[in-house]
């Protein structure tokens, strides 16, 4: 670990474990403590989500884990849609929706249609509504009629949002045509 990283750990750190408050001062002075802290993290392969530890190649699928760091933030979020921990795909879908990621439309449609967890489906549907791509209309229409109540209502809201975006675009186009012809 570089000396610059040691400085990041020099502040006071608080940890709660089993109701006991442990106060550790100047954590980074001890390299063994920093190494133990780093080793306590769980690492997953971004391709197959197999637990990998601290290796450079996934023992399960053979993916080069060093290549992952070169991917864009958007690509990493799309990969996170398949993460086994349910809160991760929900956060990834929400962020992709806020970014209005066109690259994520296909994977979000797949997640919305195939996820077993209604909360994951709901977040994918909401993201599709935020992105506003016409490719999602068929999926959203289907989900507005079938599935969990929360997914149906999210799909209805997303369809309304998509239709409003389409109407606004049509109005903008007609105004532009009037200006050109007028």
The CA distances from residue 24 to 4, 7, 27, 116, 167, in Å, are 20, 15, 6, 42, 59
In sign, the C-alpha dihedral spanning 82, 86, 90, 91 is negative
Structure tokens at 10: 């020099």
Helix or strand holding residue 132 (H, E): none
9 φ/ψ angles, rounded to the nearest 5 degrees? -95, -5
Looking at residue 112, its pLDDT comes to: 96
* pTM of structure: 0.70
Looking at residue 26, its pLDDT comes to: 44
The CATH code belonging to domain 68-181 is 1.25.10.10
DSSP letters spanning 9-30: T-S-EEEEETTEEEEESSGGG-
The full set of domain ranges for the chain reads 3-39, 68-181
pLDDT along the chain (182 residues), means of 10: 39 32 44 57 82 85 85 92 92 96 96 96 96 94 94 96 87 85 74
């Amino acid at each position: 670990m570089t000396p610059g990283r040691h400085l990041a750990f020099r502040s006071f750190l608080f940890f709660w474990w089993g109701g006991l408050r442990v106060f550790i001062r100047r954590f980074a002075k001890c390299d063994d403590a920093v190494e133990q802290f780093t080793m306590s993290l769980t690492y997953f392969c971004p391709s197959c989500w197999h637990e990998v530890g601290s290796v450079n190649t996934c023992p399960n699928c053979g993916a080069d884990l060093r290549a992952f760091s070169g991917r864009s933030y958007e690509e990493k979020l799309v990969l996170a849609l398949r993460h086994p921990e349910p809160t991760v795909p929900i956060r990834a879908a929400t962020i992709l929706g806020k970014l209005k990621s066109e690259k994520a439309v296909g994977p979000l449609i797949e997640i919305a249609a195939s996820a077993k967890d209604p909360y994951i489906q709901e977040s994918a549907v909401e993201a599709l509504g935020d992105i506003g791509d016409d490719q999602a209309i068929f999926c959203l229409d289907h989900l507005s009629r079938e599935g969990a109540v929360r997914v149906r209502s999210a799909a209805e809201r997303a369809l309304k949002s998509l239709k409003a975006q389409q109407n606004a675009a049509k109005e903008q186009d007609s105004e532009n045509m009037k200006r050109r012809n007028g």
